[in-house]
Amino acid sequence: MNRRPPPPPPHPSLERRPAGPFGWLEAELLHDGWLAEVGPQAVAVLALLALAADRRGASFFGRDRMATALGMTRHDVDHALRNLLDAELVAFRPWRPGTPNGVWQLLAPRPRQPVERSRRTLSIGQLLNNLGFTAPRQ
C-alpha cells in the first residue's frame, strides 16, 4: 500500500523546528499574556493542536474531532479557533475551498511591544484617585 506524503503546511516558509526537547508551546504564551488574550477554550484547542502536531507544527484534526476530544461543542471549538487565528497563533488551509477542515499550523507567538511606563512617582492616594476611588466624606 502506497502512503502519500503528508500535505504541506499553509505557510511552508514559516515551518518551525524544535530547539531542544520536542514541544510547540513557548513560555511566551504565558508570560506575554497570550493565554489570557485568547481565552481558556482557545488554550485547550491550542494544547490539542500542539499535542497532535507533526514535526512541522501541522495538525490534521477536524473540528468535530477536536470538539469530541476536548468535551466541547463544535460552536465553542469554532470560536476558539477564530481567537487563535485572530491572534496569529495558528494558520489554516482548508482541504478544499469552503470546507471547515484542513491543515492547522502552529505559529510562533509574535513579540509583544514593551509597555511604556511612566517614570513619575505617585502616592497611594493619587493612584487610587486615578483608578476612580475617592476619599470617604466625613
Residue 23 — very low, low, confident or very high, per pLDDT cuts 50/70/90?
low
For 116, half-sphere exposure in the C-beta direction (CA atoms, 13 angstrom radius) is: 2
Sign of the CA dihedral with 12 first, then 14, 17, and 22 last = negative
63 vs 129: CA distance, rounded Å: 48
38 vs 84: CA distance, rounded Å: 6
**Rg for the chain (alpha carbons), in Å?**
21
Residue 1 — very low, low, confident or very high, per pLDDT cuts 50/70/90?
low
pTM of the predicted structure, to 2 decimals: 0.69
**What are the residue ranges of helices labelled H in 1-138?**
28-31, 34-38, 40-52, 63-70, 74-86, 124-130
Among 5-9, 40-44, 72-76, 99-103, the minimum mean pLDDT is found in 5-9
> In order of start, what are the domains of the chain with their CATH numbers?
22-110 (1.10.10.10)
26-36 average pLDDT score = 90
- For residues 56 and 16, the answer to whether their CB atoms sit within 8 Å is yes
pLDDT tens-place string over residues 88-135: 999 999 999 999 999 999 999 998 876 565 666 767 777 677 777 776
